[in-house]
Structure 1
Amino acid sequence: MAKGDDAVRKKANKANRKKQNKKESSSVSSRVAAIIAAIIAAKKRRQSGKRRNCQGMCFSLPTPENPFNDKHEKMDFKGKETKKLVPSKADRRVAINGNNVTPRIGAPVINHQEHKMVKVKNLGNGQTISLTSIDNAGKKNIVKPEKEKIQLIGERAAYARQRQAFEYSGCPSKFLILCLNSIQNALRHDGFFSTEEDKPLFVDKWGVAFWKCYSVGKDILETGGACSTTEQIAWIASTAADSIARKEKEGLSLTGPFLLFVVPSQEKASKVRSVCKPLKALGIHTVSLHPGASIDHQIHGLKSCEPEFLVSTPERLLELVSLKAIDISGVSLLVVDGLEAFLENGYLDVIKSIMQHIPTNPHTVVFSDCLSYASVLLLQNLLKGSICRLSFNDSIASQSAGIVQSVHMCASEEEKLLKGIQVLDQACGDQLKLHILKVLFIIGNDSNSHLLVTAIKSKDYFVSTNLDYSNSEVENSKNGPAVVIAEVEHLNSSDLREFDVVIISDFVSSIDDYVQTLTRMACYTINGVLHSFLTSKDAILAGPLIDILEKCGQAVPKALRNLCHSTSMSEH
């Protein structure tokens, strides 16, 4: 009986399925065999000590044609070495003299034709590390540091680009953060330090504000306290260490201490040194000088090392400088910690003598309460350029530190008019000496004020009624110094930071207006002056004004006390 079409088709399909299954089984067997062969080969290489660099990192499976993956291109892992070179303190400092490189005293002589730095790794933010160095014999010298270390000798062009990127980065460098973390970890381990809510040092708001002021080159006046705290010392030391690293990467040499920390006592010197000590692992050496040790011992110690940071009391420092045991002429950052303590101990002349041994104009940081007229005078000798008043204390004394408040008592409105013109002439005359940019004249809205405006305009001044005028207007004007005239009611929302001299011809109706003007003016100078004129009609404000003057350590005129006393007697 003949088979039907269905039976024939069924038999053919069965045969096709058998063929297909046979092919798949053969293919799977060959792949499994290749993998097994690769595993056996890898085991043999491990046992023979000839393991490949790419072993365990292959991203393609073996094939029958290439069972050992030998035909794939090998990756070059030489650039991923993690070994870092920490140059010694003597090696990483060289003095640039024309085209010749002169090593410092005690440093080994380096022949740049026989000594070559290779394998430089970029850490970002202007930092690089050299991984290996090859000497004349062709041997690699590798040192394993505990912390990352930056390469301190680099090409000037590359450094200029890195420095420009740093200036516009808006945040501290990685090396500065590394210094802060080193200090914080060391102090925590010793049990001397714990931040608020266990916050890391690099998020401290004072430190960030300090770094911003330091980066723009301004001298800094800290008025929040009489002396520095642990957090503040850590930020100052870390910022100085970062500056040293950048300078040495440019190829510059340190001829002496970079940071000079002047402290009032031996206890304070020990505290500062304990904060800076963890930076020694990063190549920053700190020396403390105070009367607690013999001067011969300190002289011997200074001959055997070249410290980057110098912490000292004023008298011992001046004594060692006089004996030429230490050279502070190259100091780049000067910190005066506790100005009032120096004045109380009679160190005013000593501080002035120390400043004479620093011919350059160092970046200066002063911690001061500024509660006395003598403090202001000393600050004017220390801080000669544009300053940044840095404080997170909301007190009137802290916010107005360094501003002299001058109160003038007048018998009549005519006398007030004459004295106002005299004070203005004197302020503008001192402008050329003090480099004052703006003088603000605050007036009322009565007829006498308009007479005063007319008198001012008759003088050879650049007069403006716009509080936001530009300095280019003054430069293009042929008139004299700039005087801005404004009414009292227009001051609440105005920016007074750049006004160094403010003259209040008609005393404000509220003492709060006086405080706002005092705390918002002269933020960039230590030569700020606030003049105010009072008559008998302002007697009700005499008492509160005296309280403000006393809180700020200012002199209270006898006529103002008499006015306050007569007012209280009349009330009784």
Structure 2
Amino acid sequence: MTKGDDAVMRRRNKAKIKKLNNKNTSSNVSARVAAVIAAKKRRKSGKRRQCQGMCFSLPTLDDPFNDRYDKRETETKATKKRNSLQLDKNKNAFVKGKSAVSKKETKRDNNEKPGHLEQTKEKAINLKNSQDKSLLFIDGVEKRTGNVERAEVHLNGKSCANGHHGQACEKLDCPSKFLILCLNAIENAMRHDGVEQDNPLFVNSWGIEFWKCYSSAKDILETSGSSSTIVQIAWIVATAADSIARKEKEGFSFTGPFLLFLVSSQEKAAKVRSVCKPLKAFGIHTVSLHPGAAIDHQITGLRSCEPEFLVSTPERLLKLVSLKAIDVSGVSLLVVDRLDSLSKGDTLSLIRQSISGKPHTVVFNDCLTYTSVPAVQNLLLGSINRLSLNQSVASQSACIIQSVNVCASDEEKILKGIQVLDHAYGDHFHSEPLKVLYIVGKDSKFQNLVSTLKCKGYSISTGSNCIVSHIKNSVEADGRKRPAVSMIDKDHISTAELEEYEVVIVPDFIISMKNYVEILTSMARHTVSGILHSFFTKDDAAHAGQMIEILEQCGQVVPDALRDLYHTSPMLE
């Protein structure tokens, strides 16, 4: 049966209308372009073909075989029950809200030839096993490529052998690329704000020295000035961000602030936060706490975020800790800026008690303020690194107490020197013995001093280079140990290793003031409890004036007896 003319005409008109509509539309493209647009729409909506899975991930150093890529399972009409083992594996891929990447076997195309499939699979397995045994160096970090599952760890000081929790235990050869990236971000932000630097931050001499001290896992005492500068803050926060990145690569996570930066004023807190602000692009959030804002507003803000860096004044921090608005027990890096203004009262000791374990501590202290020495000694208990690019005597001898005694005779000087030794022994009876050094001459007084100390049971070691670690302590009849005593001649001061000695005694002031300054700036490099004892008589009055100048330059109290000796000196004009 043939169609009528009306049906044929309607069909032709319909085709013409459809063709005319297609010409009027703005989306008239070729089939190839239309396919590209459709693929883009599917990619944005999360719907893509199974063959497009390889287009969305590339091999990396962490995943050279691209086997961590989680393919989306294709939707099927018939739902299948998952295996219980597969469910357990998927559950292990997440640890308390933070997804951990798990390795999965990639699916092969069933249409491949069996022989070719077996050969390819065998080669991949052999290559992967060889890679697992090797080491990859990523940004200067030694890291294994094995399947290490991520886990949440509450760092309480027991994870590292050195006692500092939350910091990298390995010693690195050079700063990582991520640290330099953080410094460049801070530098670009400073340049945008109109702050220009003479040299790039990553070549700053202070920053390089700080990084070396930080990598040694020892506390740091900075004595260049009383307060930190922008460059110093930049290096500190960039190093802290790099430590966080390293620990997260190793599988650690942090439940509280990593860095606690204590400042003395609201203006300083704003300055530190402005330096930390560019690190927000790398996932480092900074919160500033100071009396300039309402405490209710700060409590509400702390509940809504988990900052990695916390900048605060001590009083406001203690208030928030008492209200349980912030938990600082897991702080891994403690920075105390301008200790001379923060050491008043018990605020620092209370904050230190609220931190569990032994955090890595950096102290900025004014070398001319010796009233804060007890606070420094309470914060820096173990071995430290001194950091200062200032070559002045006051900066190099910070926290070393100079004790000057004026005696009536040479015999009194020897007796007082022995009393100093007995006092040091008594104060450190239950702790590690002090490392004591005598500076002596070659006269008969030297033999008398050695005989007297041996009679009192001390262990004596003489020589130009006395290595304290090799000296055995003498043991008394009741089992108590006396500290070993080293003795060197005054002519060997320039070649002696004085950095390990905590107590240096000059019983007879036969050295020049140049040698005295050399001793002062070379001793006790790894402690904040150094003491330099010197003894004067009327015969040593010629050195009294220079000694007074050194004491005043270092901000220490000049004894009245030394001033009287100087005024009665026959060389005084």
TM-score normalised by length of structure 1: 0.72
Amino acid in structure 1 at the alignment position of 2:268: K
1:185 aligns with 2:182: no
Cα shift readout 1:159-211 (whole Å, capped 9, x = no counterpart) = x9xx99994541011111111111111111121x3222xx2211111111111
Alignment match, 1:407: 404
Q: Note the 1:127-142 alignment, pairs <5 A.
A: none
- Supply the distance in 2 between the matched residues of 1:80 and 1:520 (Cα, whole angstroms): 55
DSSP-derived class of the 2:437 partner = strand
Match of 2:365 among 365, 368, 373: 368
CA deviations 1:392-429 (Å, max 9, x no partner) are: 10111100001011111110111111111111122233
Match of 2:533 among 531, 534, 552: 531
| Structure 1 unpaired stretches of 5+ | 1-43, 51-75, 86-98, 131-150
Q: Helix, strand or coil for the counterpart of 1:567?
A: coil
C-alpha contact 2:140 2:174 (8 A) present in aligned 1: no
CA shift digits 1:243-269 (9 cap, x unpaired): 111222222221211100000011100
- In 2: Cα distance, 1:116 partner to 1:454 partner: 78
Residue 45 of structure 1 deviates from its aligned partner by 13
Contact 2:183–2:235 under 8 Å retained in 1:
yes
For 1:264, the equivalent position in structure 2 comes to 264
Number of equivalences: 456
SS across alignment from 2:525: coil
1:477-492 matched pairs, under 5 angstroms: 480-492=482-494
Encode CA deviations 1:512-541: one digit per residue, 9 max, x unaligned.
Answer: 111111011000000000000111111111
How is 1:231-246 mapped onto 2 (pairs within 5 angstroms)? 231-246=231-246
Q: Is the 8 A contact 2:551 2:558 kept in 1?
A: yes
Separation (CA, whole Å) in 1 of partners of 2:404 and 2:274: 46
- Matched ranges for 1:20-419 at <5 A: 80=58, 107=97, 123-126=138-141, 153=150, 167=170, 169-191=172-194, 193-196=195-198, 199-343=199-343, 347-419=344-416
**1:387, 1:165 → 2: CA distance?**
17
Cα deviation, residue 446, structure 1: 2.1
Structure-2 change in CA distance of 1:451 and 1:292 (3 Å): same
Over 3 Å counting, the alpha-carbon distance change for 1:246 and 1:538 in structure 2 is same
Structure 1 residues 531 and 339, CA gap change in structure 2 (3 angstroms): same
CA distance in 2, matches of 1:233, 1:496: 32
| Change beyond 3 A, Cα 1:403–1:165 | closer
Superposed displacement of residue 313, structure 1: 0.8
The 8 Å contact of residues 393 and 399 in structure 1, kept in 2 or not, is answered as yes
Please report how far the alpha carbon of residue 101 of structure 1 lies from its aligned counterpart in structure 2 after TM superposition.
8.6
User: Which amino acid in structure 2 is aligned with residue 512 of structure 1?
Assistant: K
Contact 1:126–1:165 under 8 Å retained in 2: no
Q: TM-score, normalised by structure 2?
A: 0.72
- Quickly say closer, same or farther: Cα 1:414–1:116, change in 2 above 3 A: farther
Q: Give yes or no for contact 1:166–1:173 (8 Å, CA) kept in 2.
A: no
Structure 2 residue matching 1:484: 3-state secondary structure? strand
- Gap change, CA 1:84 and 1:271, over 3 Å in 2: farther
Go from structure 1 to structure 2 and tell me whether the alpha carbon gap of 1:227 and 1:485 turns closer, same or farther (over 3 Å shift): same
Q: Which amino acid aligns with 2:177?
A: K
Can you list the C-alpha shifts for 1:78-103, whole angstroms capped at 9, x where unaligned? Answer: 87569999xxxxxxxxxxxxx97985
Q: Report what 2:49 is aligned to.
A: none
Distance 1:239 1:100 in 2: 31
| Aligned CA distance change for structure 1 residues 217 and 112 (closer, same or farther; 3 Å) | closer
By how many angstroms is 1:493 displaced?
2.1
Counterparts in 2 of 1:112 and 1:173: CA distance versus 1, 3 Å: closer
Distance 1:152 1:310, change over 3 A: farther
CA shift in 2, pair 1:291/1:116, >3 Å: farther
Kindly provide the amino acid, as one letter, of the partner of residue 513 in structure 1.
N
Q: Percent identity?
A: 56
For residues 188 and 100 of structure 2, what CA distance do their matches in structure 1 show? 39
Partner SS state of residue 528, structure 2: coil
- 8 Å CA contact 1:263–1:337 kept in 2: the answer is yes
Task: Give structure 2 stretches of 5+ with no counterpart.
Answer: 1-29, 37-53, 64-90, 108-127, 154-159, 161-165, 476-480
1:462 to 1:127, Cα distance in 2 relative to 1, 3 A: closer
Q: d(CA) in 1 for partners of 2:214 and 2:555? A: 28
Distance 1:117 1:241 in 2: 35
Label 1:421 to 1:531 Cα distance change in 2 as closer, same or farther (>3 A).
same
Query: What per-residue deviation string (whole Å, max 9, x for no partner) do you get for residues 21-70 of structure 1?
Result: xxxxxxxxxxxxxxxxxxxxxxx9999989xxxxxxxxxxxxxxxxxxxx
Q: Deviations over 1:404-460 (max 9, x none)?
A: 111111101111111111111222333445635521101122212221122122332
Query: In 2, are the aligned partners of 1:508 and 1:514 still within 8 Å (CA)?
Result: no
**Which whole-Å CA distance do the structure 2 matches of 1:267 and 1:558 have between them?**
41
**2:152–2:253: 8 Å Cα contact kept in structure 1?**
no
Residue by residue, what CA displacement relative to the aligned partner does 1:259-292 show, whole Å, maximum 9, x if unpaired? 0000001110001001111111001100001111
Q: Which residue, 535, 540, 561 being the options, matches 2:563?
A: 561
Q: Is the contact between residue 240 and residue 259 of structure 1 (CA under 8 Å) also seen in structure 2?
A: yes
- Cα–Cα, structure 1 residues 168 and 398, in superposed 2: closer, same or farther, change >3 Å? closer
Tell me what 1:551 maps to.
Answer: 553
- Answer yes or no: is the 8 Å Cα contact 2:393–2:517 preserved in 1: yes
Instruction: Determine the C-alpha separation between the residues in 2 that align with 1:82 and 1:421.
Output: 67
The structural deviation recorded for 1:373 is: 3.2
- CA 1:189/1:452 → structure 2, altered by over 3 Å: closer, same or farther? same
Q: Distance in 2 between matches of 1:77 and 1:421?
A: 80
Instruction: Measure the CA separation in 1 of the matches of 2:184 and 2:388.
Output: 24
Q: Are residues 357 and 559 of structure 1, via their aligned partners in 2, closer, same or farther at CA, if it must alter by over 3 Å?
A: same
Q: Quick check: 1:466 aligned with 2:481?
A: no
**CA shift for structure 1 position 359:** 2.8
**Distance (whole Å) between structure 2 residues aligned to residue 398 and residue 352 of structure 1:** 25
Question: Which shows bigger deviation, 485-494 or 261-270?
Answer: 485-494
